[in-house]
Amino acid sequence: MRIVVLAGGIGGARFLRGLKSAVPDADITVIGNTGDDIHLFGLKVCPDLDTVMYTLGGGINEEQGWGRAEESFAVKSELAAYGVGPEWFGLGDRDFATHIVRTQMLAAGYPLSAVTEALCDRWKPGVRLLPMTDDRVETHIAVDLDGQRRVIHFQEYWVRLRASVAAHAIVPVGAEEAKPAPGVLEALADAELVLLPPSNPIVSVGTILAVPGIREAVASTSAPVIGLSPIVGGAPVRGMADKVLAAVGVEATAAAVAAHYGSDLLDGWLVDTVDADAVPKVRAGSMACRAVPLMMTDLEASAAMARAALELAGEVR
């Protein structure tokens, strides 16, 4: 079966591990968010692409959900010794190699999609990983700091500030001029199933949908589009999705996120069992809905979620 997954970082990657386990013979294309990308020390870092690549390729730092396992930080500490920042973004020695290869290939004229394919040749994630676009898109957040309105990079908001201040606006800079990467629209047109995993609906999946043409392609594909709620019991399972939901005026509930995506996009929505009371509300928004366990505590739990999404797709097909 041809499955397309719009994935962000940690939640998306963990779900993909479950999906691969549930349907090992499926042909899975991942459209990865690149709005988290950041340029540091002259290198291009693609956190969400790397989290998918490392997680499915077996190199991820499991408890963090980002960066490499068995990491060391000699380069990071040497940079700090030179007073070269920022120190708040933890780039490890092994991870640096990925960014050096990526930046070298980009400088040689390869598009990000070709670079990502080359990096995946090593990691063999078992899915086709496409960046949402080959063009530069970086999410910035408007915040008030020291009484001043400032716009800062998503990573500074997320990692340095830990989303501790209110986000007044979320701007995927460059999205309007960006074009879907080669293969993205074709994969969505050919898909037999499209999945929105429990990634951040605003800064991850939302950013992918902000690339002109992608939202339309998801809305118009003949394949069922099934989403899984990243909000369980009124709080994000991981990360700080509630902070960015507030920025766009969306309540941090499973039903509100489904309504935010809209029934023009979604055919079905999975909520966690604790949110079973939301099911009739979601169904009233003319999409199928079922309450199943959505905590990805281990591979089997993630695989069960993937199977539930496949079943719901069968119901709406």
Query: Long-range contacts made by residues 142-148, C-beta under 8 angstroms, separation at least 24?
Result: 142/167, 142/168, 142/169, 142/170, 142/171, 143/167, 143/168, 144/168
Q: E strands along 230-276, which residues?
A: 231-232, 235-236, 268-271
Task: Using the minimum distance from each CB to ligand FO1, give the nearer residue, 48 or 242.
Answer: 48
Q: Among all chains, which residue has been given the structure tokens 């068995």?
A: 70
**Nearest distance in Å: CB 155, ligand FO1:** 5
96 touches ligand FO1 (CB under 6 A): no
**What is the C-alpha separation between 54 and 60, in angstroms, rounded?**
5
Quick one: which of 18, 35, 59, 67 contacts ligand FO1 (CB under 6 A)? 67
Give min distance, CB of 296 to ligand FO1, in A.
15
Residue of 279, 270, 275 lying closest to 309 (CA atoms): 270
d(CA 247, CA 261): 15
Of the candidates 163, 206, 208, 156, which has an alpha carbon nearest to the alpha carbon of residue 187? 208
Alpha carbon distance 271, 255 (integer Å): 8
Site for ligand FO1 in 101-160 (CB under 6 A): 155, 158-159
Least distance in Å: CB of 154 to ligand FO1? Answer: 7
Q: How far is the CB of 8 from ligand FO1 (least distance, A)?
A: 6
Question: Which range of residues in 17-25, 85-93, 216-224, 225-233 is near ligand FO1 by CB under 6 A?
Answer: 85-93
Least separation in angstroms between residue 263's CB and ligand FO1 is 27
Among 18, 32, 35, 47, binds ligand FO1 (CB under 6 A): 47
Residues that bind ligand FO1 (CB under 6 A): 8-10, 36, 45, 47-48, 50, 66-67, 89-91, 95, 155, 158-159
